[in-house]
């Protein structure tokens, strides 16, 4: 198939696609076509694959064989070249815009880049290398192999910065384990993880990482990048292991635990990607992961009994949380979200997890 060069709504079709169509219509091989034209089969192959341009000499030979004028062949090549240049110019503009949308100080503060001054050109070059991408313009597109959790609608700025965090986490996690994800093992460790809500972050976090690693899940925690608006994400690697990214954005104890288990819900159901254009499918997966997290902490029947009792005092919250062997902030967060209490109530029962996640 001939090379197609595209970006956003711009598409450039190499004239080799027309050569390929002619060969198919003639029902002959590329080698035979090359002999008829009077050139090498290697040249025809490169033309079809978009690896070589149609020269004036080849345009002349094609015109004699096909009856399509030299001017037409030359114009096809010329129009392709112009369209490719338009696309590259747009990519260059978007690459600079992507660079401008992110905070370079984040990479310095977290030792991803050397702490020094960078020119605009140097910033683009360093970010390309750091993120293992050929162009920063790619950061404007969602990665279809990833499931993201965010609390707000995505904008260009948040898409770019969320994708940067994903690429950083991917690079950290890609070689951490050769274990493939095992649902059976995850089922075994989930009850252990639930008990960790009552522990301090310094105690539970190392154990949490090790437990998940045994399941083939690589937990990567990253300091939030400004404007990323990302709570977490999951991605499956080629070797079968899974990345679970958690950021420290708004990481009070209730949000941390809900975000973590929400992402584990995606992994549990093996939903490692999000098609944002299919809103119904995306929303359904998010609801399923949310319900997984809700039931993991407080099964619906227990929660409903507590709510129906109508006592939302601190003593009632603390007593029910103790009965569930659960950090009270998780119950408070759920009640706030369900509007049984105000968002300003009982926030002193929440802990701020200001610990180093990397």
Q: Which residues of 111-134 are buried (b: 16+ CB within 10 A; e: fewer)?
A: ebbeeeebeeeebbebbbeebebe
Distance CA 181, CA 198 (A): 27
Residue 84 inside a domain? The answer is yes
Q: Tally Cβ neighbours within 10 Å of residue 77.
A: 20
209 and 156 both lie in a single domain: yes
Residue 281 inside a domain? The answer is yes
29 and 172 both lie in a single domain: no
87 and 152 both lie in a single domain: no
94 and 145 both lie in a single domain: no
Beta bridge partners of 219: 244
Mean pLDDT lowest among 128-137, 249-258, 297-306: 249-258
Domain that holds residue 228: 141-297
Residue 174 inside a domain? The answer is yes
Residue 126 inside a domain? The answer is no
Question: Is 276's pLDDT higher than 60?
Answer: no
296-329 pLDDT, tens per residue? 999 999 999 999 999 999 999 999 999 999 999 9
Residue with the larger pLDDT of the pair 101 and 251: 101
Q: Find out whether 211 and 189 touch, Cβ atoms under 8 Å.
A: yes
210 and 63 both lie in a single domain: no
Question: What's the pLDDT score for residue 5?
Answer: 87
pTM, to two decimals: 0.81
Mean pLDDT lowest among 68-82, 276-290, 338-352: 276-290
Domain count, the chain: 2
């Amino acid at each position: 198939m001939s090379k197609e060069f595209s970006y956003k709504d711009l598409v450039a079709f190499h004239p080799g696609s027309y050569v390929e169509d002619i060969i198919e219509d003639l029902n002959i091989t590329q080698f035979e076509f090359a002999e008829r034209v009077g050139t090498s089969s290697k040249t025809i192959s490169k033309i079809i694959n978009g690896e070589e341009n149609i020269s004036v000499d080849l345009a002349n030979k094609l015109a004699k064989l096909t009856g399509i004028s030299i001017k037409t062949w030359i114009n096809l090549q010329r129009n392709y070249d112009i369209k490719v240049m338009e696309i590259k110019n747009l990519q260059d503009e978007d690459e600079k815009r992507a660079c401008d949308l992110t905070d370079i100080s984040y990479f310095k503060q977290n030792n991803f880049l050397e702490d020094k001054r960078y020119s605009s050109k140097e910033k683009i070059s360093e970010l390309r290398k750091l993120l293992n991408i050929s162009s920063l313009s790619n950061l404007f597109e969602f990665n279809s192999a990833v499931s993201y959790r965010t609390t707000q609608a995505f904008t260009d700025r948040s898409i770019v910065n969320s994708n940067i965090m994903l690429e950083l986490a991917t690079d950290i996690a890609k070689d951490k384990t050769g274990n493939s994800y095992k649902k059976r093992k995850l089922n075994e460790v989930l009850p252990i993880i639930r008990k960790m809500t009552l522990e301090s972050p310094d105690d539970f976090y190392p154990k949490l990482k090790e437990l998940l690693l045994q399941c083939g899940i690589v937990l990567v925690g990253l300091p939030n990048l400004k404007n990323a608006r990302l709570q977490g994400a999951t991605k499956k690697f080629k070797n079968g292991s899974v990345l679970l990214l958690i950021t420290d954005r708004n990481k009070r104890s209730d949000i941390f635990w809900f975000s973590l288990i929400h992402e584990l819900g995606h992994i549990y159901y093996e939903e490692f990607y999000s098609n944002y254009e299919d809103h119904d499918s995306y929303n359904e997966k998010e609801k399923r992961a949310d319900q997984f997290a809700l039931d993991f902490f407080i099964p619906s029947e227990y929660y409903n009994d507590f709510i129906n009792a109508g006592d939302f005092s601190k003593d009632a919250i603390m007593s029910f949380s103790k009965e569930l062997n659960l950090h009270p902030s998780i119950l408070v967060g759920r009640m706030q979200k369900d509007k049984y209490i105000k968002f300003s109530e009982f926030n002193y029962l929440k802990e701020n997890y200001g610990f180093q996640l990397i």
